[in-house]
Amino acid sequence: MTRSSEGWIRNFVDGGFVDPDENRGFDKSDPATGHVFTRVHEADEALVDRAVASARRALDHGWSDTPVRERVALLRRAADRIEERFEEFVAAEIADTGKPVTQARELDVARAPANFRAFADIAATAGQESFITDLTGGKQALNYAVRKPLGVVAVIVPWNLPLLLLTWKVAPALACGNAVVVKPSEETPSTATLLAEVLEEVGLPRGVYNVVHGFGSGSAGEFLTAHPGIDGVTFTGSSATGTHVMRTVAPRVRPVSFELGGKNAAVVFDDVDLDEALTGLSRSVFTNTGQVCLCTERVYVQRKIFDDIADGLAERAARLRMSTPADAATTTGPLISQAHRKKVLGYFELAEQAGAKVIAGGGVPDLGAALNSGSWIEPTLWTGLTNADRAVREEIFGPVAALIPFDTEEEAVALSNDTEYGLAATVWTNDIRRGHRVAQQMRVGISWINTWFTRELRAPFGGAGLSGIGREGGESSLHFYTEPTNVCVQL
């Protein structure tokens, strides 16, 4: 049984793909060309209800009691099978997102088996707390924690790194004995559906993994988060959508794990290795066409080297190659959609109105007839803005950054923390004491020194403020996907 049927991407419920309803579908376009290449079956409320009921049956019929060693063995088989079907995942990711083939291979798809293996190892070696309590009369009590699966988990993933973030959530959820109902972004339905085939092939019991396609309000996303059979929600996406999800689950007091938006800062001190900093900044501003929650949109540069950094980063932006995603030389893909490009171009206008000087990009490229209907945009850099301007305060989620000078360390910290977001920051300096000092003052979930996007999968990851609630990664993920029960016995 396959995920596609006569040009449709189908929902996966209770161990099987659902035949599409011709009256409930939407087109999926290639962001690089703008051409429609498939239709997606939109799940109605009844199908979402079937998916949740299927997940509940899987829990009640033994999945939650499956020994950890069997669950982690299944995760390892899934990792192996993803690698066996690696190029299929690459093709699906490129079709959905338009990202360059090199990135799809080296980042997005490569991280999927890594996520499964990492959480297999973490779940297999995780311990439990225990305490001896002294009681009156010389007696003692033993207290120990038993972790049980959270239950049926709604997994809602965004379009920017769809397979990477999907497996980042599904792997620990399954390792802990949960059943999941996945709602991928309507922009990127393919890899979540392909993963259903893989999990079925490696023997995951029916109902443990379900996929429902659709939109947010009034569609599969709202039907899922509002469903009384859901025991928790893990969501990565915009802060506005996270707020809506939180309101939806609040009456039933369901736990949530949110990794939301960012308006991330980089601080560049004048003692830095210029080439190293420029290489890192080029990655952190332009990777995935700026469509990564961790990307840098604010670059604060010590005044002495401001012109050097501005000129050097503009020169590196000009080197980026926008072309067909299948070309290994392509470095920069399109934005995800025409609607998102319109949003980003709106910030170009706001920056211009605020007096920004464009030192790189600033518009829409001409890539020829084959690509001009796609959602392309030029990598763009501004100077002349301040923290008061909307283009510096609001998340844009495109290949853009504002460069702003500073004089003192204290000023750099204040400028970086002058935001409602709190996801990530990067400090560039050759003074190791200053690097640690500044990194620790950043009000963010992750603070890098002389690097960017370096991830340790065992470390906690998440944001503060508008950037989210909770932490994922390592045992932090196990804490979210389980409910602890303290057992106390008098000895």
The strand order across the sheet containing 36-41 reads 4-5, 8-9, 36-41, 25-29
Other Cβ atoms less than 10 A from the Cβ of 251: the count is: 9
| 352 part of the active site | no
- Rounded Cα gap, residues 447 and 423, in angstroms: 9
Residue 368 tokens read as: 């020829």
Distances (CA, A) of 291 to 174, 244, 288, 419, 479: 28, 22, 5, 19, 29
- Rounded Cα gap, residues 188 and 203, in angstroms: 25
By C-alpha distance, which of 1, 6, 21, 34 is closest to 336?
Answer: 34
Residue 164 tokens read as: 């990477």
Q: Which of 259, 297, 378, 395 is catalytic?
A: 259
Enumerate the H helices of 98-185 as residue ranges. Answer: 101-103, 110-125, 162-175
In contact, 156 and 168? CB cutoff 8 Å? no
Biggest distance spanned by C-alpha atoms of the chain? 87
In contact, 182 and 155? CB cutoff 8 Å? yes
| 259 part of the active site | yes
3-state secondary structure 164-223: HHHHHHHHHHHHCCCEEEEECCCCCCHHHHHHHHHHHHCCCCCCCEEECCCCCCCCHHHH
User: Three-state DSSP class for 308?
Assistant: helix
Instruction: With residue 358 as reference, give the H or E element that holds it.
Output: strand 357-360
Query: β-strand 296-302 against 264-268: which pairing, if any?
Result: parallel
Residue 42 tokens read as: 């939109």
- What is the secondary structure of 427-453 as a DSSP string? EE-S-HHHHHHHHHHS-SSEEEES-SS
Q: Which of 93, 293, 295, 395 is catalytic?
A: 293
Residue 72 tokens read as: 């982690």
Catalytic residues, which ones? 259, 293
